[in-house]
Amino acid sequence: MSKKVKDFGIEKTLRNLGIKEENKGTSSGGKYFASGKTIESYSPVDGNLIAKIKTSGASDYDKVIEAAEKAFKEFRLIPAPKRGEIVRQLGQKLRTYKDDLGKLVSYEMGKSLQEGLGEVQEMIDICDFAVGVSRQLHGYTMHSERPGHRMYEQYHPLGVVGIITAFNFPVAVWAWNTALAWICGNVTIWKPSEKTPLCALACQNIMNEVLKENGIGEGISSVLVADHEIGQKLVDDKRVSLVSFTGSTRVGRMVSSKVAERFGKSILELGGNNAIIISKDADIDMSIIGAVFGAVGTAGQRCTSTRRLIIHEEVYEEVKNRLVKAYGQLKIGNPLDEKNHVGPLIDTAAVTQYEESIRKCKEEGGNFVVEGEVLNGKGYESGCYVKPCIAEVQNSYEIVQHETFAPILYLIKYGTLDEAISIQNDVPQGLSSAIMTQNLREAELFLSHAGSDCGIANVNIGTSGAEIGGAFGGEKETGGGRESGSDVWKYYMRRQTNTINYTASLPLAQGIKFDL
């Protein structure tokens, strides 16, 4: 490991999180199964090998599923507030390990240290939220049309919940799903991205401490570090009641159809192509901050990253010029160094996609006011660092209609708000959106039925990021799933309607007579 990285304490961080040079990648409540191939995790920060992981095979998968099914039969009988107590303890453990886990997220994934720590804070926040929800898993009581009858609804746990996550949020999305799934009485099996396996192992090691301290055995929480074939098993397996998938629209479409074929349930968090409308009545200072962070934060690798700026013609040149100036001040480098604004892309394949997207944009007529390039030389040895860039485009360009997981920002000019909203909605994706304006009428129209068609719509806030308390997710090719706050817990349960007859007779509905 390079001296530069040693200076940031990575070796100590790995030890604290139970990560060794050689790891077993399939864990179920402290018991490990690993009969598959060995994979290696390299950091995009410096290109160094962090650790090796022995992955799971088909036989390991079956053992984990069997353990999960057995654990569910017992876990569902524990009162929900008691299950909430387990989640509360996980939140406390995460507070203890926040610095170490945040640093690992930054080093293995490449996002800034501040963002890595922020991601762990999201885990803590969802644990706090779920603890409260564990005492509020409510149903409804309604009046029966039959005398002496009572009707109500209640919710029951589903069973085994499969969680398939992406590299860009290697720990938070697992926690979003797991905290709610557990308080609802389910057990979880996590298939993390092969690009960030150590983050998943660290989370499971932390969870294993909680389970051990509470005398809970294997099966409640399992992680499967494996290739896509094991992910496919989760999708196809009838024993997995719900599959929560975060990833590309292409793969999500397959997951949706396969799970639906077996009448399972799915939560889909897929692509985003997010836009900020900058009105002539916007606070330009605020708009620049929101646009720059949304476009370059996590090196453009958030599903909520700002891809498009739709700018009113009266302020277009001012916004463009100020963006160019702001981009000239960006510091690109090791994300563990808090002086840097932008870290690396996840790997060289992502760099290739970045280059290809720039080429396609230019072919379609895009005018780059800030040119993109792959950075080389000292500090950029991993080959994963790129320069954030800005292009003037038309929304109709094919490349603009696609999500590129890289810091490429598109500028589009508009004249009327109706035109701006039409441009905003005229992409296949529908995750996050925003308008910057001090005009109340514009803000309300943007949030109305005639406004944004996205799952998230903000006023004077950028597209990137979301609070735990609200439901997170989007429409159209974003998949329609919802995770995190609000009443999302209902996704992890099955609804049941109950009717109780407390009389000595059996009146039939609609006055039907059936005398024997």
Reading phi first (left if > 0) and then psi (alpha if -120 to 50, else beta), residue 125 is in: alpha
- In sequence order, what are the beta bridge partners of 246? 269
Write phi, then psi, for 370 (nearest 5 degrees).
-130, 115
Q: How far apart are CA 253 and CA 322, in angstroms?
A: 39
β pairing state of 274-278 and 306-312: parallel
Q: Which helix (H) or strand (E) holds 207?
A: helix 197-213
β pairing state of 22-24 and 26-28: unpaired
Helix axes 80-96, 98-109, angle to 10 degrees: 70
For residue 42, CA distances in Å to 47, 49, 117, 131 come to 6, 4, 20, 36
Q: How far apart are CA 244 and CA 162, in angstroms?
A: 6
- The string over 170-188, giving b where at least 16 C-beta atoms fall within 10 Å of a residue's C-beta and e elsewhere, is bbbbbbbbbbbbbbbbbbb
Q: Which of 184, 199, 303, 389 is catalytic?
A: 303
Helix axes 228-236, 58-75, angle to 10 degrees: 40
- The string over 361-392, giving b where at least 16 C-beta atoms fall within 10 Å of a residue's C-beta and e elsewhere, is beeeebeebbebebeeeebbebbbbbbbbbbb
SS3 253: helix
Question: 81 CB contacts (<8 Å, ≥6 apart)?
Answer: 134, 135
Q: How far apart are CA 433 and CA 177, in angstroms?
A: 23
Could you tell me if 318 and 283 are in contact, meaning their C-beta atoms sit under 8 angstroms apart?
A: no
Q: How far apart are CA 466 and CA 176, in angstroms?
A: 12
DSSP assignment of 112-130? -HHHHHHHHHHHHHHHHHH
Cα atoms in the 13 Å half-sphere on the side-chain side of 404: 26
SS (H, E, C) 50-114: EEEEECCCHHHHHHHHHHHHHHHHHHCCCCHHHHHHHHHHHHHHHHHCHHHHHHHHHHHHCCCHH
Note if 269 is an active site residue: yes
Q: Which of 108, 269, 442, 477 is catalytic?
A: 269
- In sequence order, what are the beta bridge partners of 188? 161, 221
**Active site members:** 269, 303
